[in-house]
Amino acid sequence: MFKKRFKLIAAVLTVVMLVFMTGCSKTADSSDKKNAGDYKMVLILPGPINDQSWNATNYAGLVKSNETLGTKMEYVENVQAADYESTFRNYAERGYDLIMAAGTQFDEAANKVAPNYPKTTFCVVNGMVSKGANVAPIFPKEYEASYIAALMAGEVSKNGQFATIGGFPNKAMEHLLDVYETVAVDAAKERGIAGAKAVRAYANSWDDVALGKQMADTMIDNGADVMFVYANQVGLGAIQAAKEKGVKFIGFSGDQTTIDPNTVVGSVVFDFETFYVWAVQKFLDGSLDGNKVHEAGIAENIFKPVYTDNIGKDIQDKVAAGMEKVKKGEIDLTTMFKDK
């Protein structure tokens, strides 16, 4: 009898202990899982958040991610090239889970620093290089956005003379300008402007407003009647030159029509609110994999045209039709890259 009772007690104790251990395990697992707001995140910006262009666009994405996903991403602005590596290291040393940086120019520094901080994910926006399991750049297909801009430009030009200014001649910049120039010139020729052509220059700067004005003045004096600039604050100087000389400007990245709608007659807005929410959610889900460039474009509704009254419905319809061709895969913009 005693042995049977002992066995019964032992069996009960075993069940109780198993239940207790299972409960502890579940509690531990639950406590280990972070909420979105518990992750330490930061966005590194090369310029000010009020530049009405690249930096403002990225900052809007940060704000939307925090509002939508409950994250608490911080930001640091006006980070200069000489400080890229040290800024990455500073946040990685402090245990940040996700460090985002706005611009292809951060690629080299991110890939150099990342191997020393395997628990931190380095995500370069517009990044094109991923050489590590914790390096996961995201890339909006900017050449698809410049395609939209070109569809506008090709219709508003009166003489078919297009001028473009890029910040620096990296591959992404060259590709988007290749597409813009090809499409704009072809559109002008289809309208009967036989001598249509495009000229290009690089500012080798993202923030020299005076240089932007000087370069645009020269291009306009040489005959350009539509300007397109992708160089952050440099573009603000170019818009001023276009306004003073009475030529048209196609905005890019942010809604630059608000600067002067009679000069900036249309813009292509990068919907980085959608882009950032998409990217940060991938990080939270654990699917923002390294050794890979994560891309999005027209098909993902990342780019949106903005029109002023200077862009009629006929032009808007042509832009919409062109975007639909890209969505359906009826046109391959990469064939316009000059390095193909």
Say which residue, 26 or 107, is predicted with more confidence: 107
Same-domain status, 293 and 192: no
Please determine, for residue 24, whether its predicted confidence score (pLDDT) is greater than 80: no
Residue 50: CB atoms within 10 A of its CB come to 10
Same domain assignment for residues 332 and 263: yes
Are residue 134 and residue 252 in the same domain, yes or no?
Answer: no
- Section 72-84 average pLDDT: 98
In the chain, count H helices and then E strands. 10, 12
Whether 119 has a pLDDT exceeding 50, the answer reads yes
The gap from C-alpha 57 to its chain's centroid, in whole angstroms, comes to 8
* Per-residue pLDDT at 136: 98
Are 154 and 241 within one domain? yes
**Are 63 and 151 found together in one domain?**
no
HSE-CB at 239 with a 13 A cutoff on CA atoms is 26
Count: domains in the chain? 2
Q: Where are the alpha helices (DSSP H) in the chain?
A: 2-32, 54-69, 84-93, 107-113, 142-156, 171-190, 209-221, 234-245, 272-285, 313-327
- Whether 26 maps to a domain, the answer reads no
Average pLDDT, the chain: 91
pLDDT given for residue 13 in this prediction? 44
- Contact assessment for residue 338 and residue 171, using Cβ atoms and an 8 Å cutoff: no
Does pLDDT of 3 surpass 60? no
The CB-side HSE value for 161 (13 A sphere, CA atoms) comes to: 10
CATH number of the structural domain spanning residue 283? 3.40.50.2300
Domain of residue 227, residue span: 142-269+303-336
Q: Does 314 lie in the same domain as 225?
A: yes
Query: Is residue 61 assigned to a domain?
Result: yes
Asked if residue 278 and residue 265 are part of one domain, the reply reads: no
**Taking 80 as the threshold, does the pLDDT of residue 323 lie above it?**
yes
Reported as a pLDDT band with limits 50, 70 and 90, residue 32 is low
In a domain, residue 82? The reply is: yes
Same domain, 322 and 210: yes
| Side-chain half-sphere exposure of 320, counting CA atoms within 13 A | 9
Is the same domain home to 319 and 190? yes
Q: Which two structure tokens, joined as six digits, stand for 27?
A: 């509690």
Sign of the dihedral through C-alpha 224, 228, 232, 236:
positive
pLDDT, residue 57, reads 87
pLDDT digits (tens, 9 = 90+) for 259-278: 999 999 999 998 989 999 99
User: Domain check: are 261 and 279 in the same one?
Assistant: no
- Torsion over CA: 127, 297, 230, 170 (sign): positive
Question: Is residue 17 a part of any domain in this protein?
Answer: no
- My answer on whether 176 and 45 are in the same domain is no
Whether 30 is in a domain gets the answer no
Distance CA 152, CA 48 (A): 28
Say what percent of the chain tops pLDDT 90: 84
Crossing angle between the packed helical segments 272-285 and 54-69, to the nearest 10 degrees: 50
Q: Is 27 helix (H, G, I), strand (E, B) or coil?
A: helix
Cα diameter, the chain: 109
Q: What is the mean pLDDT of residues 144-159?
A: 98
The DSSP call for residue 69 is H
What pLDDT sits at residue 28? 36
pLDDT in tens, 171-224: 889 999 999 999 999 999 999 999 999 999 999 999 999 999 999 999 999 999
Query: Which run of H or of E encompasses 202?
Result: strand 197-202
Q: Is residue 29 part of a domain?
A: no
Using a 10 angstrom Cβ sphere, with 0-12 exposed, 13-18 middle and 19 or more buried, the burial of residue 119 is: exposed
Per the domain annotation, does 167 fall within a domain?
yes
Is residue 277 located within the same domain as residue 237?
Answer: no
Q: Is 226 within 8 Å of 248 (Cβ atoms)?
A: yes
For 200-210, how does the pLDDT look when each residue is reduced to its tens digit (9 = 90+)?
999 999 999 99
**Is residue 252, in this structure, part of any structural domain at all?**
yes
Average pLDDT over residues 139-157: 97
